[in-house]
A = this chain, B = another copy of it.
Amino acid sequence: MSIQKPTLPRGTRDFGPEQMVKRNFIFDTIRRTFQKYGFQPLETPTIENLSVLMGKYGEEGDQLLFKVLNSGNFLDGLQPADIDEGYKKLTPKIAEKGLRYDLTVPFARYVVMNRGELTFPFKRYQLQPVWRADRPQKGRYREFYQCDADVVGTTSLICEAEIVAMLHEIFGGLGIGDFTIKINNRKILSGIAEVIGVAGMESALFVAIDKLDKIGKEKVEEELREKGLSEASIKKLQPLFGAPTSNREAFENLKDWLQNSQVGMKGVQELEQVWKYIRTMGIPEKKLQLDITLARGLSYYTGAIFEVKANGVQIGSISGGGRYDNLTAAFGVPNLSGVGISLGVDRIYDVMEELNLFPSDSGTTTRLLFTNFDAQAEEFSLSLLQKARAAGINAELFPESSKLKKQLDYADRKRIPFVVLIGSEEMESGLLTLKNMTTGEQEKLTADQILAKLA
């Protein structure tokens, strides 16, 4: 076996203990909230058949799928001509499987394969990694987690309101107090296309509008001109760029603008109903913003769309989602309506780091270290150690008789907040020395007092 310096593939990461504790805090908060709202867990395999994945993410997506080489002799049965045809045609002949690219397509596949057994409306959440052979760059990885919650099998707008409630609960629970939930509706965007006379060009319109935040009004108009919109259409589009001072004003402007578009007015009416539900549920409205410039890239949305922005940090949206009507159509089951939300764990992590929001005590790491100076103290500590654990305290005994400095250093580097020092004096008197590693203070306490203090 040759000795080599090991490396990680580009765009992948190890998550060591410190990061994991923080990431688990995020995952646990999200999971607990999803459960509180009646969503049930689902896990799908990492490896999917490429027949399931291909053609669902556009041509670029097909390229970005990681493909898994067939096991055994994958060249078996191939002709030289197969290789001459180039890698794109060769790929499906030597790779039948690929890695999960998102959680949405596997969810749709699961629903289709199990629809006879599922209870509808079916509410599922899914927290799993996905893989994309993208060019790695700052904040963009080839392996990263997605956290999705979806409900399918109902068109009830209560589901949209519940997503808003969940977002409040999740970000509140994480300590991200200052955020904005932007809401729009694809029907409103269709209505806009209709009233400005470009009804067949929705997708060009959505793509350009989606960039408003980044490139500004002039550049958006320029792009629309390039895409063939007339000056008349661009002139009619001007209400889009108005900056209403309240949601009420935004709704009023919109009803005025879209009064002649049936689909547009349907979108407005849907959002008004969502707002009504939110009010009834007692969710504060001040973090909600009707933002008619919100378009979102994905083509499958048909109703409400959402995006969440953490204010005061230069990081893109931390959550997004929307309603769709045809997610399972590619697998032969049309007209199954649903609505879902996806949370970006990596970005949420970055926001929380920047705002220093991670709690200092996660409740999952070691709280108490017993020192180890000699065989006698070791024996004394071992039985106390189990008592501490029985009392629910995460505890450790330093496994070797080492110098005090080394043991305190261990506690310090592992951020263990309390150390019990047990020497011959302590064993004789029964009064143990408890050292608070944060303040440096020491106090003499009985074993029971220590357990009572930390339990």
Contacts and interface: CB of A to CB of B under 8 A. Distances in A.
Interface in A38-76: 38, 40-49, 51-52, 55-56, 63-64, 66-69, 71-76
A114 interface: yes
A142 interface: yes
Contact of A73 (B7, B87, B378, B392): B87
A331 B379 CA distance: 36
Interface in A266-301: 277, 280-283
A281 B5 CA distance: 41
A358 interface: no
A4 interface: yes
B389 A36 contact: yes
A382 B114 contact: no
Contacts of A241: none
Nearest to A416: B38
Contacts of A14: 42-45, 110, 113-114
Interface string A63-103: 11011110111111000100100110011001111010000
A339 B146 CA distance: 33
A394 B37 CA distance: 6
A127 to B, nearest CB: 11
A9 B94 contact: no
Contacts of A8: 45, 48-49, 113
A182 interface: no
Contact of A281 (B41, B169, B385, B392): B385
A205 B142 CA distance: 45
A207 B160 CA distance: 60
A200 B20 CA distance: 44
Interface in A180-218: none
B20 A68 contact: no
A8 B396 CA distance: 44
A385 to B, nearest CB: 7
Interface stretch (A150-158, A303-311, A347-355): A150-158
A13 to B, nearest CB: 6
Given A1-B55, A6-B109, A40-B21, A47 B156 contact: no
A52 B6 contact: yes
Contacts of A4: 51-52, 331-332
A37 B31 CA distance: 24
A259 interface: no
A376 to B, nearest CB: 11
Interface residues of A, number: 112
A312 interface: no
Contact of A15 (B7, B42, B329): B42
Contacts of A43: 14-15, 20
A131 B382 CA distance: 39
Given A365-B40, A386-B281, A143 B35 contact: no
Closest 3 CB pairs of A and B: A17-B40, A38-B396, A156-B399
16 contacts: A3-B332, A6-B113, A8-B48, A8-B49, A9-B48, A14-B114, A15-B42, A20-B40, A20-B41, A37-B395, A63-B71, A66-B71, A83-B83, A156-B400, A277-B382, A281-B386
Given A37-B389, A83-B83, 6 more contacts: A2-B55, A15-B43, A24-B41, A40-B414, A63-B71, A69-B94
Interface of A: 1-9, 12-17, 20-21, 24, 35-38, 40-49, 51-52, 55-56, 63-64, 66-69, 71-76, 80, 83, 86-87, 90-91, 94-97, 99, 109-110, 112-114, 117, 119, 121, 123-124, 129, 131, 133, 142-143, 151, 154, 156, 158-159, 161, 165, 169, 277, 280-283, 329-332, 364-366, 378-379, 382-383, 385-386, 389, 392-397, 399-400, 410, 413-414
